[in-house]
């Protein structure tokens, strides 16, 4: 298994373990809350989540034939406060022309800007490993997105990621999907 895949697996496993601790801690204590905010409204941290997205990817070569297609991306992570979390991505699928996306796996720090109780904007920065049928690369990745709560534990979201920025090509993806918070 590649080092980045191991890192992503550790992040997801840690998020699951933290979720169990958070659920146990909900009955044992309270956290700071702003005036007028009841205990029922106050989120307990860390909060873990998992989601699935349609991933519209684009491989753009400086010279040569480009590729774009639609794949599936799974994501999961933990939010440690209103403003910070970690997230992992695992994506696959799609081919157009000469290139097929075998998989992508990455781990990211997540900066969060709460706009309202239901809407959050966020930025992601970290590292991704991408395996195409013709090449395998890894590198620094970044992106931005938004989430909107449609139910107490369910949100819809969309983001745009620059997964790879190499000297002769870029690999980007726009994703839209759902997230469930545990």
Calculate mean pLDDT across residues 109-129: 97
Residues 127-153: tens digit of each pLDDT: 999 998 888 999 999 999 999 999 999
Residues 23-38: tens digit of each pLDDT: 444 444 444 344 445 5
67 pLDDT tier (thresholds 50, 70, 90): confident
- Helix, coil or strand: residue 17: helix
What dotted CATH number matches 3-28+44-181? 2.40.160.20
Q: How far apart are CA 73 and CA 158, in angstroms?
A: 12
CA distances from residue 108 to 34, 42, 103, 144, 161 in whole angstroms, order as listed: 29, 25, 17, 12, 11
Report domain extents, the chain. 3-28+44-181
Q: How far apart are CA 12 and CA 70, in angstroms?
A: 24
Write out the two tokens for 165. Answer: 């920025």
């Amino acid at each position: 298994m590649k080092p980045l895949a191991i890192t992503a697996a550790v992040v997801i496993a840690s998020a699951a373990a933290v979720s169990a601790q958070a659920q146990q801690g909900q009955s044992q204590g309270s956290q700071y809350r702003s005036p007028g905010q009841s205990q029922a409204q106050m989120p307990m941290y860390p909060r873990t989540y998992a989601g699935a997205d349609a991933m519209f990817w684009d491989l753009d070569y400086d010279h040569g034939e480009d590729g774009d297609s639609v794949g599936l991306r799974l994501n999961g992570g933990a939010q440690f406060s209103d403003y910070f979390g970690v997230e992992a991505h695992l994506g696959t699928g799609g081919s157009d022309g000469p290139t097929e996306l075998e998989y992508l796996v990455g781990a990211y720090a997540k900066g969060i800007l709460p706009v309202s109780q239901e809407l959050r904007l966020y930025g992601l920065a970290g590292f991704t490993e991408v395996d195409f049928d013709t090449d395998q690369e890894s590198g620094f990745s970044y992106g931005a997105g938004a989430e909107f709560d449609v139910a107490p534990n369910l949100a819809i979201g969309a983001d745009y990621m620059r997964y790879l920025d190499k000297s002769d090509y870029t690999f980007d993806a726009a994703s839209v999907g759902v997230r469930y918070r545990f």
